[in-house]
Amino acid sequence: MDPVDPPGCSSLDEGLPMSAYSEASVPDQSGKTCLITGANTGIGFEAARVLAGRGARILLGCRSETRARQALERIRALHPAADLVWVPLDLARLPSVEAAARTVALEPRLDVLVNNAGVMLPPKTLTQDGFELQFGVNHLGHFALTGHLLDRLAATPGSRVVHVSSVTHRTGRIDFDDPHAERSYGAMRRYGMSKAANLYFMLELARRCAARGLDVTSLACHPGVTNTELIRTLPRWIQALTPLARPFFNTPEAGALPTLRAATSPEAEPTDYYGPIRRGDRSPSAGRADIAPHVRDERVGRRLWDLSVELTGVSYLTDL
Ligand SMILES: NC(=O)c1ccc[n+]([C@@H]2O[C@H](COP(=O)([O-])OP(=O)(O)OC[C@H]3O[C@@H](n4cnc5c(N)ncnc54)[C@H](OP(=O)(O)O)[C@@H]3O)[C@@H](O)[C@H]2O)c1
């Protein structure tokens, strides 16, 4: 679940009737390879389950071997022939990100990278690299992973990078003066910053791929308010109250539909943003959603890109 559902988060779908998108809409994925970060639970797991069932080879980028293997078993129980591989990946450690990318780069193709893993509203915590945890995992780790894998993506015709953001991006501003929250930390402020960063990154990557003529589609999605384990880092008293609200949340299966549409829809274009259809975000479908205007500021997108290169040491598509 995501705590904020601010005004103006309605989804806009010009192409399809309200109820049109479901798991049955996902086309055959035979021959494709998808890397999904945080695929052991929640939205990432549901996306992995569906894509594996459609014949894709799924690389599950997960930090816990036990949880990854449990996810593999759950998918294989449904789809015994599923082609599944656990790729050890801790987005809070840049050396782990680099090692995961080296493993994935051995694959002959990479059709879809889903930057899904995330943390929400933890007490102030730093990654091993000294980054504030939400900015570090939700944005910087994925920025580094994408950079390491861009050659493999660009060599695969029609490849995509799907960035999983949130309606909270609307409240998000990038704090360039205090990126590691050394002066002040507000958990909600930093979550919004990380989710806005997902969309700034999505748009800037799309611009740079277009300028270079790379056949890589950068696009995004959000799951609305979904019943997952994302609340695990919230204060205990809030976790205790959550069961009361759960009936109003999306199921994880429904929350994964925008991800599935972004990852597989034949009509998807660079910079598309998919979300649940209606305000309240509980409709089990997926359509076009709107991006907050401030996130379309290219100067901020370029500045965030430069900061991300500086912090991660991963430099790519730099000459634009
Ligand atoms: N649920 C919502 O209402 C909602 C709303 C808007 C956006 N989102 C976004 O949706 C995405 C998926 O969240 P979810 O709701 O499915 O949450 P979830 O059930 O908590 O799943 C999060 C996944 O991220 C992984 N992860 C966390 N830290 C990691 C790290 N350092 N390295 C690698 N993996 C890490 C977790 O792995 P472990 O199991 O090992 O911890 C887990 O697999 C997130 O980006 C979130 O911001 C969710």
- Confirm if 144 and 97 have CB atoms less than 8 A apart: yes
Considering the segment(s) 23-312 as one domain, its CATH architecture is: 3-Layer(aba) Sandwich (3.40)
- Cα–Cα distances in angstroms (integers) from residue 255 to residues 48, 112, 297, in the given order: 13, 18, 28
CA of 104 to the centre of ligand 1 (A): 21
pLDDT, position 248: 83
Question: Lowest-pLDDT range, 152-156, 183-187, 282-286?
Answer: 282-286
Average pLDDT over residues 96-118: 98
pLDDT, position 282: 55
d(CA 157, CA 208): 17
Mean pLDDT of all residues belonging to the chain:
92
Q: Which atom of ligand 1 is nearest to the CA of 167?
A: 6
**Statement: residue 17 has pLDDT above 80:** no
pLDDT band at 164 (very low <50, low <70, confident <90, very high): very high
d(CA 262, CA 21): 12
Cβ of residue 208 lying under 6 Å from some atom of ligand 1: no
Pairing of strands 273-275, 216-221: parallel
Strand-pairing partners, residue 160, are: 112, 217
Residue with tokens 């704090």: 175
Q: Establish whether 273 is a catalytic residue.
A: no
- Confirm if 164 and 43 have CB atoms less than 8 A apart: yes
**Statement: residue 298 has pLDDT above 60:** yes
CB neighbour class for 30 (10 Å; exposed up to 12, middle 13-18, buried from 19): exposed
pTM of the model: 0.94
CA torsion angle 115 250 167 204 (round to 10): 20
pLDDT, position 152: 97
pLDDT, position 14: 46
d(CA 176, CA 201): 15
Average pLDDT over residues 99-119: 98
**Statement: residue 18 has pLDDT above 70:** no
Picking from 246, 248, 217, 252, the residue whose alpha carbon sits closest to that of residue 110 is: 217
Cβ of residue 134 lying under 6 Å from some atom of ligand 1: no
Cβ of residue 3 lying under 6 Å from some atom of ligand 1: no
229, 232, 234, 249: which to mutate for ligand 1, most atoms within 8 A of CB? 229
User: Among 191, 200, 273, 274, which one carries the catalytic annotation?
Assistant: 191
195, 225, 228, 246: which to mutate for ligand 1, most atoms within 8 A of CB? 228
**Statement: residue 3 has pLDDT above 50:** no
Q: Which atom of ligand 1 is nearest to the CA of 225?
A: 3
Per-residue DSSP letter, 70: H
Kindly give, in sequence order, each residue whose CB lies less than 8 Å from that of residue 5, ignoring residues fewer than 6 positions away.
Answer: 167, 225, 279, 280, 281
d(CA 209, CA 230): 32
Pairing of strands 57-62, 33-37: parallel
pLDDT, position 149: 97
Q: Which atom of ligand 1 is nearest to the CA of 137?
A: 31
The domain segmentation of the chain, as residue ranges, is 23-312
pLDDT tens digits, 254-278: 999 999 999 999 999 999 999 997 6
What residue owns the CA closest to ligand 1's atom 3? 1
